[in-house]
Amino acid sequence: MSHPATEPKRNKNEFRINVYGLGYTGTITAVCLALKNHSVRIYEKNQEMVRRFNEGKPSFAHIELKSIQSQIEQCHKNMAAFSLEEKITAADFHLACVGTPSNKIGDFDLEQIVAVSKNISSSLKIKQPNIPIVLFRSTMLPNSLRELVLPVMEKESGMQEGKDFFLAAFPEFLREGSGIQDTWSPLHFIVGPISKFPEEARSRIDSLFQNSQTLEILTPEECSMIKLGSNAFHSMQIAFANELSELCNNLGISGNRVLCALINENKLRYERNYLKPGPPFGGPCLPKDLVAIQSMATAHSTKIPLLESISISNQNRLNKIADLILKQNKTRIGFHGISFKPETGDTRGSAVLNIIELLHLKNQNLKIEFFDENCSLENLNQKIRTKVIPVSDPIELLRDDTSLLVIGSQRPQPDFLANLIIKENICLDLNYFADISKHLSEKHQNILFLCPPKI
Ligand SMILES: NC(=O)c1ccc[n+]([C@@H]2O[C@H](COP(=O)([O-])OP(=O)(O)OC[C@H]3O[C@@H](n4cnc5c(N)ncnc54)[C@H](O)[C@@H]3O)[C@@H](O)[C@H]2O)c1
């Protein structure tokens, strides 16, 4: 049975918006639209997620949303989640935020895209004052909207795009951990309609999030490619920074200082977030989008050696970390933070979990423990769940000199750092958290870095 939801409040002059999918993208999108007083209905196929959302417990985005809890409470009446078993209502906007995971050959699996296209189609026949605008926020290949979504929607609804409804790519550039801020101030505010928008439709989209950016109209194909290109560029910067810092280290040069100097070449606007040494990249987007580009290049007989080598470089980084840990000959390895990005609670594609898998593969006798404020065993897939033991207090990770501590994705609290000095366990700081290197590296000889921040 689906959880009963209270109808979202209808505010005069604001839009009725249907959002599809309650993953990270859908949740952040829906909340931001409700904060702008729109009336938001969210449709999700997983009934447990519907129930949790209506009880005020959205999944991955939960931690981020906590910081604006009071604002959300005020706008809560503007939104409600519904199971797909409920009738899909007419709306001024339909925003598809469903998943596009990799399939076996590296392309995007478009099953959820086809399903949501059909779901949305069922509501397009309902007469309403505004022509509905259907926007796809999910990351897709450049031809997917025109060649897959459009025919499905026209066939299922019996309606004509450009006349009875408008269809467009509307990729988002959210980064987990700062999705709300990224919605108000997006890296790109672009939309790619199938047919030319009339002025009314354009200004309707422009006023959706009421942000300060000017909406740029491109083609759907350009929009998809900007999204994929942006993620590939971020992956490349991470791999570049890791390789360069490793080379510097082997030459006796501080890789950290070299990269700081590169970041400061302000005129070229390097990305401060990515261009620094750290763990390999991971997460739900960068690896899958990069693989999709490679698969697309193969299908179009295009050679992309630079882009292909990014994944190889990333895998090398992973192997290096596992080897460094194993070289210390410890029997217990404790991980402080296992999500793919600090403080997100999202473990999908986490580099820390990839390291754990690799360690387990190389030495099945290792005892691997973890502490993560935002993740429990239930957040982990079956494959990894049997290989790790959660602990409820990070101090337990510092048991005795048989244990090695890996500071993964969670910034340690000051009292934990104090214990680190006392206990003198060997510790590997994957993220170069500034406070650890600043306060401990001189006093505490046992901090390992892949590339030491100071020479
Ligand atoms: N997570 C990110 O930070 C991020 C950032 C940028 C872009 N994206 C892209 O946004 C899209 C969504 O990402 P996500 O991480 O939120 O995905 P997700 O897989 O976590 O969530 C998708 C949700 O959609 C639901 N769903 C599937 N079919 C449905 C249907 N027919 N109707 C309603 N709900 C349905 C699923 O049950 C799931 O809860 C992907 O294409 C992703 O590449 C994600």
Distance 1 CA to ligand 1 centre (A): 23
pLDDT bracket for residue 60 (50, 70, 90):
low
pLDDT of 450: 60
CB neighbours of 3 closer than 8 A, spacing ≥ 6? 47, 50, 51, 54, 55, 83
Is the distance from CB of 18 to CB of 167 less than 8 angstroms?
A: no
Is the distance from CB of 242 to CB of 278 less than 8 angstroms?
A: yes
Distance 282 CA to ligand 1 centre (A): 17
Domain with CATH 3.40.50.720 in the chain: 16-218, 229-448
pLDDT bracket for residue 12 (50, 70, 90):
low
Residue 115 Cβ < 6 Å to ligand 1 = yes
Lowest mean pLDDT among 45-54, 138-147, 152-161, 418-427: 418-427
Residue 177 Cβ < 6 Å to ligand 1 = no
Which CATH code, of 3.40.1260.10, 3.40.50.720, 3.40.50.1860, 3.40.50.880, is assigned to 229-448?
3.40.50.720
Q: What is the distance between the alpha carbons of residues 41 and 131, in angstroms, rounded to a whole number?
A: 18
Cross-strand bridge partners of residue 16: 39
Q: Give the residue-averaged pLDDT of 161-177.
A: 95
Distance 261 CA to ligand 1 centre (A): 37
In ligand 1, which atom is closest to the CA atom of 231?
A: 6
Q: What is the distance between the alpha carbons of residues 32 and 444, in angstroms, rounded to a whole number?
A: 45
Q: What angle do CA 338, 344, 346 make, to 5 degrees?
A: 60
- Please state, in angstroms and as integers, the Cα–Cα distance from residue 200 to each residue in 197, 241, 270, following that order: 8, 45, 37
- With tokens 């882009």, the residue in question is 307
Q: 94 phi and psi, to 5 degrees?
A: -120, 120
pLDDT of 246: 84
Tokens linked to 169: 């790519």
Tokens linked to 366: 């290792």
Q: Give the residue-averaged pLDDT of 185-213.
A: 92
* pLDDT tens profile 363-397: 999 999 999 988 888 889 888 999 999 999 999 99
* pLDDT tens profile 333-364: 999 999 998 878 899 999 999 999 999 999 99
CA atoms within a 13 Å half-sphere pointing along the CA-CB vector of 2: 19
C-alpha dihedral, 408 to 414 to 419 to 424, nearest 10°: 60
β pairing state of 93-96 and 79-83: unpaired
CA Rg value for the chain: 24
Q: What angle do CA 426, 429, 435 make, to 5 degrees?
A: 110
Lowest mean pLDDT among 93-97, 242-246, 327-331, 444-448: 444-448
Q: Is the pLDDT of residue 454 over 60?
A: no
- Assign a CATH topology to domain 16-218: Rossmann fold (3.40.50)
Of all protein residues, whose CA lies closest to atom 10 belonging to ligand 1?
A: 138
Distance 22 CA to ligand 1 centre (A): 7
Q: Is the pLDDT of residue 420 over 80?
A: no
Of all protein residues, whose CA lies closest to atom 44 belonging to ligand 1?
A: 25
Tokens linked to 379: 């957040």
- Residue 377 DSSP code: G
Residue 97 Cβ < 6 Å to ligand 1 = yes
Distance 25 CA to ligand 1 centre (A): 6
Sheet holding 39-44, edge to edge: 79-83, 39-44, 16-20, 93-96, 133-136, 166-169, 190-193, 216-217
Cross-strand bridge partners of residue 93: 17, 133
In ligand 1, which atom is closest to the CA atom of 179?
A: 3
Q: What is the distance between the alpha carbons of residues 394 and 279, in angstroms, rounded to a whole number?
A: 20
Q: How far is CA 86 from the centre of its chain?
A: 29
Residue 189 Cβ < 6 Å to ligand 1 = no
Is the distance from CB of 333 to CB of 373 less than 8 angstroms?
A: no
Is the distance from CB of 124 to CB of 51 less than 8 angstroms?
A: no
Is the distance from CB of 80 to CB of 7 less than 8 angstroms?
A: yes
* pLDDT tens profile 230-289: 999 999 999 988 888 888 888 888 888 888 888 887 666 666 678 777 899 999 999 999
